[in-house]
Amino acid sequence: MKKKYQCGGKVLDFEINIKNKSFSNKHDSSTVEVLKNINIKINSNEFVCIVGPSGCGKTTLMNIIGGLIEAENQKLTFDKKELEINENFGYVFQTSRLLPWLTVEENIELVCDEDVKSKERINKLLSDFNLQEFKDYFPKSISGGMRRKVSLARALVRNPKVLLMDEPFVSLDQPTAESLYSVLINYWKKNPITIILITHNLKEAILLGERILFFSKRPASVVYDHKVKSKRNKLSIDDKIIQNEYSHLKKKFPSLLEGLI
């Protein structure tokens, strides 16, 4: 019997069910099975991290959830209703994907309707993310960390119900990454939404997430569902509490990051 998760007495309201996802090789007609029997249930406004071996299918799953590709017998439901992709998702990719010929403000405006409410949301995010003084700068004129911040603002400006994040902090130095952790968590506390984050950094997952889903090797399925015990005293990977939970997991499941338990 599968475990039924609840959050504050509220029954789960986001479900991801995917029977199979395979890719075909056009050169020899072979197929590679990437995902198999994915059944994930997420609480309202929960922060879930996905960790697994490189190439196991994490990004493929994210692209299916985000409506970029389709899988066999896929079903996404939110409050028991089929999820409307365009209206409900924000997506932060591994790179900022800003258009170099547009300013910071214009890159955020790109996904918005031309109305007063959109303008108000843009101005608020620029202010909340300390980007106001850089709104007229072009991407090449700001730091890599700041570009990631702009891409996060762009993903949030339409008030999505679900935020998808595919290794958004990869390649950043620790101080820059931790400053972005603060931006993300502060926003999430003030504007609760469901967040699904892919990361290879287990300490990052423990620091940010409430649950961690560990994926197997390809074809990926969930091999372990871990409820994070550590509380965020400070948003630092070097926090002793984070290190203790990391060490405990590694000791209990030495091959967990390789997709084995």
Residues 26-55 pLDDT 10s:
777 788 889 999 999 999 899 999 999 998
Query: So what's the pLDDT on residue 85?
Result: 58
173: Cα separation from own chain's centroid: 19
Q: What is the mean pLDDT of residues 179-206?
A: 95
When divided into structural domains, the chain yields a total of 1
CB hemisphere CA count around 148 (13 angstroms): 23
196 vs 74 pLDDT, higher one: 196
Q: What is the mean pLDDT of residues 122-132?
A: 95
- Relative to beta strand 194-198, strand 47-51 is parallel
Query: So what's the pLDDT on residue 254?
Result: 92
Residue 4 predicted with pLDDT over 90: no
What distance in Å separates the CA atoms of residue 159 and residue 181, rounded to the nearest whole number?
19
DSSP state of 12: P
- Amino acid, single-letter form, for residue 101: W
Among 81-90, 117-126, 148-157, the minimum mean pLDDT is found in 81-90
Residue 1 predicted with pLDDT over 70: no
Given strand 211-215, what is the order of strands in its sheet? 89-92, 162-166, 194-198, 47-51, 211-215, 222-227
Query: So what's the pLDDT on residue 145?
Result: 94
Residue 49 burial (10 A CB sphere; 0-12, 13-18, 19+): buried
Query: So what's the pLDDT on residue 72?
Result: 77
CB 57 within 8 A of CB 219: yes
CATH code, 242:
3.40.50.300
Residue 170 predicted with pLDDT over 60: yes
Place of tokens 């990052």: 204
CB 237 within 8 A of CB 178: yes
Q: What is the mean pLDDT of residues 86-103?
A: 89
In a domain, 102, yes or no: yes
Contacts 24+ apart (CB under 8 A), 220-224: 220/34, 220/35, 220/36, 220/38, 220/52, 220/56, 220/57, 220/58, 220/61, 220/259, 221/35, 221/36, 221/37, 221/38, 222/38, 222/39, 222/40, 223/256, 223/259, 223/260, 223/261, 224/253, 224/256, 224/261
- Relative to beta strand 14-24, strand 75-78 is antiparallel
Query: So what's the pLDDT on residue 83?
Result: 63
**Element (DSSP H or E) covering residue 75:** strand 75-78
The range of the structural domain enclosing residue 29 comes to 6-258
In a domain, 247, yes or no: yes
Residue 172 burial (10 A CB sphere; 0-12, 13-18, 19+): middle
What distance in Å separates the CA atoms of residue 52 and residue 58, rounded to the nearest whole number?
7
Q: What is the mean pLDDT of residues 156-171?
A: 92
In a domain, 138, yes or no: yes
Query: So what's the pLDDT on residue 29?
Result: 75
What distance in Å separates the CA atoms of residue 114 and residue 70, rounded to the nearest whole number?
31
Mapped to the 3 state alphabet, what secondary structure does 17-58 carry?
EEEEEEEECCCCCCEEEEEEEEEEEECCCCEEEEECCCCCCH
Residue 87 predicted with pLDDT over 70: no
In a domain, 1, yes or no: no
CB 139 within 8 A of CB 96: yes
Percentage of the residues of the chain whose pLDDT score is greater than 90: 65
For the stretch 238-251, pLDDT in tens is 999 999 999 999 99
Phi, psi torsion values for 11, nearest 5 degrees: -70, 150
Query: So what's the pLDDT on residue 10?
Result: 46
Query: So what's the pLDDT on residue 184?
Result: 96
